[in-house]
């Protein structure tokens, strides 16, 4: 059965991710990616205008694990428990960062690609401000319902939760091995520590 255009495009993205992880962004040339996928160099340009567009698509592909939990968050105020709701968000944030951090870190070595990525985020209205707003709005809604201490700064809740995830993923990649407890235990501990400051008087 012949491979469809969409399937070939996905194979190229998967190949690009593999090459980036093995050789870094600088070493991820279109020739290396084509070789990893097993296609001619020109095949890449059937699906992507250039290398920048290819890597922007690769970055966008890493977004889904985070967007789902964030979209659900606005409907969870007053439902379930605050602890349980935040665990879902932190689990999503951790999965998202494990995918995006190695790619995003490479952007700082390629100013042209970084600028293109920044412009793409602005054009699509995407980026960290979306997750920040979702968490802040959720915490404010729970404060109005009396389930979260009104003296808590919602912005700091976001920084504590997402900052912990970013630190864990960055250090693990930096050292080349996982640090601390399992992901499941990490999520529970981060949310438990945060909850001590969120609980109403």
Calculate the average pLDDT of the chain: 88
Determine the 3-state secondary structure of 126 from DSSP.
Answer: coil
Q: Which residue has the tokens 């969120």?
A: 198
pLDDT in tens, 150-199: 999 999 999 999 999 999 999 998 898 988 999 999 999 999 999 998 88
> What pTM, to 2 d.p., does this model score?
0.81
Interatomic CA distance for residues 47 and 15, integer angstroms: 14
Query: What is the pLDDT at residue 201?
Result: 59
Query: What is the pLDDT at residue 141?
Result: 96
Interatomic CA distance for residues 155 and 132, integer angstroms: 7
What CATH number corresponds to the domain at position 82?
A: 1.10.357.10
Question: Is there a single domain that holds both residue 29 and residue 101?
Answer: no
Q: Which long-range contacts (CB under 8 A, 24 or more apart) does 190-195 make?
A: 190/90, 190/160, 190/161, 190/164, 190/165, 191/83, 191/86, 191/87, 191/90, 191/161, 192/83, 194/86, 194/157, 194/160, 194/161, 195/82, 195/83, 195/86
Question: Is there a single domain that holds both residue 108 and residue 144?
Answer: yes
Question: Is there a single domain that holds both residue 90 and residue 132?
Answer: yes
Positions of the chain with pLDDT lower than 70, given as ranges: 1-2, 62-66, 200-201
**Structurally, how many domains does the chain consist of?**
2
Structural domain for 90, as ranges: 62-198
Query: What is the pLDDT at residue 94?
Result: 92
Question: Is there a single domain that holds both residue 51 and residue 66?
Answer: no
Interatomic CA distance for residues 97 and 95, integer angstroms: 6
Query: What is the pLDDT at residue 123?
Result: 87
Question: Is there a single domain that holds both residue 31 and residue 71?
Answer: no
């Amino acid at each position: 059965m012949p491979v469809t255009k969409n399937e070939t495009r996905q194979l190229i993205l998967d190949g690009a991710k593999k090459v980036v992880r093995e050789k870094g962004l600088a070493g991820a040339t279109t020739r290396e990616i084509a070789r990893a996928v097993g296609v001619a160099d020109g095949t890449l340009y059937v699906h992507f205008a250039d290398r920048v567009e290819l890597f922007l698509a690769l970055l966008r592909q890493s977004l889904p694990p985070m967007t789902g939990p964030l979209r659900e968050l606005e409907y969870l105020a007053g439902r379930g428990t605050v602890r349980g709701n935040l665990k879902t968000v932190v689990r999503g944030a951790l999965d998202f960062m494990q995918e995006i951090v190695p790619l995003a870190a490479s952007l700082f070595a390629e100013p042209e690609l970084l600028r293109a990525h920044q412009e793409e985020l602005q054009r699509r209205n995407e980026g960290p401000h979306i997750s920040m707003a979702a968490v802040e709005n959720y915490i404010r809604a729970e404060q109005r319902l009396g389930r979260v201490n009104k003296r808590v700064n919602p912005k700091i809740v976001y920084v504590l939760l997402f900052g912990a995830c970013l630190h864990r993923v960055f250090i693990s990649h930096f050292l080349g091995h996982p640090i601390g407890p399992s992901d499941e235990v990490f999520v529970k501990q981060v949310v438990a520590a945060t909850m001590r400051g969120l609980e109403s008087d």
